[in-house]
Structure 1
Amino acid sequence: MVDALSFVVAALVLWQLHVPTPPRQDARAGLKRDLTYGWTFILARPALLNLLLTFTLFNLLTVGSGVLRPLLLTGTLADDIAAHAWTPSTALAALYTTLGLGSVVGGVIISAWGGLRERRTLGILIPLFVAGLAQALTGGTHSVLIASAGLVVYGLMTPSAAAHSMSIWQSQVPPEVQGRVFSVRRMLSQFTNPISTAAAGLAAAHLPAGAVLSWAGVAAAVICGLQLLNPAVRSLDDPAPSIHPEPTTG
C-alpha cells in the first residue's frame, strides 16, 4: 500500500509538470544514427566520459552491498546482536530503516537546497567519496548502531551526487538530443549493477561479507578522491562549449 501510494504521488507530480519535447534538428537521420549518436556524443567529450566512468565504477563497487548486508548479521555484527538480545530480523530492520531514512532526508535536503550553482563536480565527488567511506564503516564495524549510522550517511550522500550529476548532464547536452545521449548514459552507468550483485555473492562465498563491503567502499572512495584531482572532470565546472556543436562522426 505504501509503495502504491508513492507511485500515485509521483504520478500526480508529473501530471502537474510541463515536459517539453524539443523539435529534432535531424528528423531524417534514421535508426542507425539514433543508435550510435549517444555513444558518439559521449566519446567526443572526455569530461563527460570521465564522469560517467566514475558512476559506473562506483555502482560496481556499491550495488552488491545489498547482497552483503544481511550476511553481516551472522558475521561482524553477530556478537553485538547477541549482547543486546536482539533478533537478526530486528537488526536487519534497523539497517534498512536507517538507510531508507538517510535517503529520504538526503532527497529532501537537495530538493530544498537546489544544489551548488558553481563547482558542481564537488557536489558529486565529495558525496560519493563520503558514501564510499560510509560503506567501509558499515562493513568494518562490530556495532549495529555504528553500522546503521554508516548507512544513514550513505543514504544522505547519494541524492546529492545524483542531482548534481543530472544538472551537469542537462547543461552539457542540448535538449533535442538528451533522449539519445541519456539512454546511453544510463546503460553505461548501470550495466554493472547485475555484475556487482553477482560478484558480491561470489565474493561472500569465500570471504567475510564485512571485509568485502569495507574494501569495496575504500576502493570507491579512492576512485572518487582521484577524480577530484582529474582536470578533465574539473573542466565540467567551466562554461560548456559543447552544448551547441554536433560531435563529428568522421
Structure 2
Amino acid sequence: MQNTLPSSLRPFLLLWAGQALSVLGGAVSYAAASMWLATIYFPLPADKPALASALTWLSLSYALPGILATPFAGVLADRYPRGAVMRLADLCSGVFCGLVALLAFADALTLPLLYLLIALTAVSASIHGAALWGAYVLLVPEKHLTRANALMGSLWTGAGLVAPGLALLLLARGEGLGLAFGLDAASFFVAALTLLLVRVPPTPKRETPPEAGLWAEASAGWHFLRVRPALLVTFLTFAALNFAAAPLAPLEPLLVREGLAADLSGREMTVAAALALIGTVTSVGGLLGSALMTVWGGVKRGRGWLIFGLCALSGTAQIVYGLSQSLWLTAAMMGLFVFTLPVADTHLSTMLQTQIPPDLQGRVFAVRQMLAQSVSPLSIVLFGGLAGRVPAGQILAGLGVFAVIASLLPLLKQDVRQMGNEETTP
C-alpha cells in the first residue's frame, strides 16, 4: 500500500495516540498559564510592565532548561532503553504538573514556584524528546518513516489549533489554572501507561567502544557533525531560520494593530478577532502540510533542493506577511509559512534517522535541538525591544529577507544539494 499506513505500524500509532494527549495537555496548560497571568494575576492596565516580565519568565522557563539539558538528554536516550526513558520522563512531567495543579487548588502557587516546576517539566520533556525521536527508526520500517514523522509533527499544530479555546473554557471556572495543569498531569500519566503497551526494540550498538565519560559521550554528536559538513551546514542554517522566525508570534499583535488598522476598521473587526482568524489559518496550514506528507510520503532523492527551496518559500511568505496591509493576505501568508514547515522538517528528520547510526541518534538530535532553540530567546529579546521604535511589519519583513538568503546559500554547496541521496546508514 502506497498511500496508507499498514497495520504493522500499530505500535507506532499507539505511541502517537499517547503523545497526542500529552502534547495537547502541555499546549493547554501553557495557554492557560499565559491567560491566567494576563487576566487574573495581573489584570490592571497599570500591571503591564509586571505582566510583560512575567510572560518573559514564563517563556524562558519553558525554553532555557530544555536547551541546557539537551546534550545530556541525548546521552540518556542513547545509553538506556528508549521506551523506559520516555516512560520515566512522562511520569516525571506528570508529577511536576500535578504539583502545579495542587498548589493552584490550594491557592499557594507563587510565580517562582510556577517557573521552577515548569523548568523541571522542560528538562524531562527534553529527555523524552531525544528518546522519542530516536525511537521512530526502531519502530517504523524505513519506507514509512516519512509518514510517521509527518503524523508526529501534526500533533503540535493540531494542539495549537484547539488549546487556546480549551484553556479559555477552563479559565472561565474559578479554578481553571489548577484544572489545566491537572489535565496536563493526567495526560502525561496516560502517555506513560500507553508506553507500557509499546515495545520499543533495543537500540542497535556498533562495535566501536563507547566514549569515556559523560562529557565525552555528550560531545559525540558534535563530532559526528564535524566530519559531515553538509549536515553541520544544515543544522546551522535551521538555527538561522529559527532566529528569523522567533519574533513572529510575539510581534504578531503589534503587526496586526499597526499594519492592518485600516483594513480592520473597514471590516469593523477587532484586533482580537483578527488574531483569532490568523491563528486559525496558521494552524490549518500546518495541518495541511502534515496531511500532505502523511499521504504523499515525500521524495527519495533531491531532498536538499526540496528542503532549502521550501525554506526560501517560507521566508518569502514572511516578507509578504510583514509588508501586507490586508488581513486575508496576512493570514494566507502565515498559513503558507507554516504549511512548508512539516514538509521540509519531515524530509530532514527522515533523512537523519536513516543516515545516523541508531546509537548516536539521541545525541545528534540533541545537538539539532540545542542549535535550533538556543537562538530563539536572543531573537525575541533583541527584536522585541526594537519593535518599540520600528514598525513590527518592517522587522519581520527584514528577517524574512535574511531567511531567504540563509536558505539559498547552502544550495551553493554540492554536498548539500545531494544530501539525502545516499541509501545506506553510515
| TM-score normalised per structure 2 | 0.53
Aligned length: 243
Is this contact kept in 2: 1:121–1:164, CA < 8 A? no
- Counterparts in 2 of 1:185 and 1:3: CA distance versus 1, 3 Å: closer
The amino acid across from 1:142 in the alignment is Q
- Counterparts in 2 of 1:71 and 1:184: CA distance versus 1, 3 Å: same
- Give the CA deviation at 1:195: 1.3
Residue 203 of structure 2 is aligned to residue 22 of structure 1: yes
Is this contact kept in 1: 2:205–2:358, CA < 8 A? no
- Give the CA deviation at 1:76: 0.9
Distance 2:374 2:421 in 1: 29
Residue 282 of structure 2 is aligned to residue 114 of structure 1: no
Distance 1:18 1:210 in 2: 49
Is this contact kept in 2: 1:67–1:200, CA < 8 A? no
The amino acid across from 2:202 in the alignment is T
Give 1:247's aligned residue. Answer: none
Distance 1:131 1:28 in 2: 40
The amino acid across from 2:376 in the alignment is N
How does 1:132-147 map onto structure 2 within 5 Å? 132-147=315-330
Is this contact kept in 2: 1:103–1:155, CA < 8 A? yes
Residue 88 of structure 2 is aligned to residue 88 of structure 1: no
Deviations 1:225-247 (A, max 9, x none): 22223223113134278x43xxx
Is this contact kept in 2: 1:64–1:200, CA < 8 A? yes
Unaligned ranges ≥5, structure 2: 1-20, 29-158, 160-183
- Give the CA deviation at 1:80: 0.6
- Selected match of 1:39 from 202, 217, 222: 222
Give 2:48's aligned residue. Answer: none
- Selected match of 2:338 from 155, 172, 177: 155
The amino acid across from 2:24 in the alignment is D
Distance 2:350 2:305 in 1: 13
Distance 1:138 1:157 in 2: 15
Q: How large is the RMSD of aligned CA atoms in angstroms?
A: 2.5
Aligned sequence identity (%): 33
Q: Considering only CA atoms, is the larger Rg found in Structure 1 or Structure 2?
A: 2
Distance 2:256 2:326 in 1: 10
- Selected match of 1:3 from 24, 45, 48: 24
Distance 1:15 1:109 in 2: 31
Higher helix share: 2
Residue 363 of structure 2 is aligned to residue 219 of structure 1: no
Give 1:48's aligned residue. Answer: 231
The amino acid across from 2:335 in the alignment is V
Give 2:388's aligned residue. Answer: 205
**Higher mean C-alpha displacement, 112-121 vs 6-15:** 6-15
Give 2:363's aligned residue. Answer: 180
- Give the CA deviation at 1:54: 1.1
Is this contact kept in 1: 2:311–2:407, CA < 8 A? yes
Is this contact kept in 1: 2:321–2:330, CA < 8 A? yes
- Give the CA deviation at 1:94: 0.9
- Counterparts in 2 of 1:13 and 1:135: CA distance versus 1, 3 Å: farther
- The higher-RCO structure (CA 8 Å, 6+ apart) is 1
- Give the CA deviation at 1:17: 5.5
| TM-score normalised per structure 1 | 0.88
Residue 287 of structure 2 is aligned to residue 104 of structure 1: yes
The amino acid across from 2:264 in the alignment is I
Is this contact kept in 2: 1:129–1:221, CA < 8 A? yes
The amino acid across from 2:203 in the alignment is P
Deviations 1:143-192 (A, max 9, x none): 00100010110111000111011112112211111112211121112211
- Counterparts in 2 of 1:13 and 1:105: CA distance versus 1, 3 Å: farther
Deviations 1:130-155 (A, max 9, x none): 11111111110100010001011011
Unaligned ranges ≥5, structure 1: 245-250
Distance 1:70 1:240 in 2: 46
The amino acid across from 1:20 in the alignment is P
